[in-house]
Amino acid sequence: MKGIIYRSASSLAHDTGPHPESAQRIVAIEAELERLDWCGYERCDSPAAGEQMLLRAHPLSYVDAVRAACARSAPLDADTIVVPASLDAALHAAGGAASLAEALCDRTADVGASLHRPPGHHAEADRAMGFCLFNNVAIAALHSIEHCGLERVLILDWDVHHGNGTEAIFAADPRVCFVSLHEYPCYPGTGPASEQGVGDGLGYTVNCPLPGGSGDGAFVGLVEQLVVPLIEAFSPQLILISAGFDAHRDDPLASCVVSDGGFAEMARAVHRAAIAVDVPIGLVLEGGYDVDALARSLAIVLSELIGESTNLGADERDAPQVAAIAAAVLERPVFRAGA
């Protein structure tokens, strides 16, 4: 199995100062991966996204607004700080995610990761928020569909914060099944189970809101009992993981308590399901703000996705809500009938 990682030094130049989403996140990740010989993945420098890539997910007026804000070092919202170098970092983050999708689509690699900042899943088509400028995972999914010719992509977002931007971009699009496991209520306040998509996309948005304090039982249970059957029912040609690590028990920005072993078992379950149906997997970095937990958990996940088990197990599981959530989703007509 071949793995590939896209990265860019531009991620370090996106200077947010004393902010949770800082360059130290990438420094810690790369130090840990270097220690582990990059978990056997080939490294590639990411190209900057061209305008056509961005316009698949964002209108030109928004792209121009981001360019102007970066040039002026004008924050895009109270949480989303930019400097002139932020534009280059955001373009490489989007370009790296799209390049990853393309490498997976043409089977240059079986598994891979786009490891950049700023993250992207809160960015809506015409609005930056939550540290995010361009929606990297959405750009990757749309590139795989519109450039590479795929018909079905599944996005699993296990960041502790709901991926509101990704949901909004694909709410009416049946080509993308969007599954979000997130703490609720929590920033950005979106993602109730009742939001299931609209129009032709009705049913393909799968929100799994979890109470604060949820840990391995809920997160691993939902991957095993919901995401794995969805992979079979939806039959995606590509799986993208919007991978935040802020559900970790050590993270300061939320209150979920997933362990290192919990992340290992989530990745292990997705890997096994993907192998069974011969579907490549791409990881796009989102949040994670305790840098040690972030770097360690990401390395564990990358090892599991490439088929090198870490032998870490999840904590004892007790999450009775999981079966009910999974059953309700899997009974939707779009999944009962097949995609």
Shortest CA distance to 135 belongs to which of 98, 105, 183? 98
**Annotated active-site residue in 92, 122, 161, 182:** 122
CA angle 240, 83, 43 (to 5 degrees): 40
Task: Measure the CA–CA gap between 318 and 156, rounded to whole angstroms.
Answer: 22
All domains of the chain, ordered by start, with CATH?
A: 3-336 (3.40.800.20)
Task: Kindly provide the b/e burial profile for residues 191-214, where b requires at least 16 CB atoms within 10 angstroms of the residue's own CB.
Answer: beeebbbeeebebbbbbbbbeeeb
Task: Measure the CA–CA gap between 261 and 243, rounded to whole angstroms.
Answer: 15
pLDDT at 337: 61
Q: How confident is the prediction along the chain (339 residues), in pLDDT tens digits per residue? A: 999 999 999 999 999 999 999 999 999 999 999 999 999 999 999 999 999 999 999 999 999 999 999 999 999 999 999 999 999 999 999 999 999 999 999 999 999 999 999 999 999 999 999 999 999 999 999 999 999 999 999 999 999 999 999 999 999 999 999 999 999 999 999 999 999 999 999 999 999 999 999 999 999 999 999 999 999 999 999 999 999 999 999 999 999 999 999 999 999 999 999 999 999 999 999 999 999 999 999 999 999 999 999 999 998 777 888 999 999 999 999 998 644
- The dihedral formed by the CA atoms of 213, 217, 219 and 224, expressed in degrees to the nearest 10: -170
pLDDT at 318: 72
pLDDT at 339: 45
Shortest CA distance to 214 belongs to which of 252, 155, 259, 173? 259
**Dihedral pair phi/psi, residue 96, rounded to 5°:** -65, -40
**Dihedral pair phi/psi, residue 277, rounded to 5°:** -115, 10
- What residues are paired with 285 via a beta bridge? 243
| 119: amino acid identity, one letter | P
Tell me the pTM.
0.98
pLDDT at 285: 99
pLDDT at 244: 98
19 is catalytic: no
Task: Measure the CA–CA gap between 23 and 13, rounded to whole angstroms.
Answer: 7
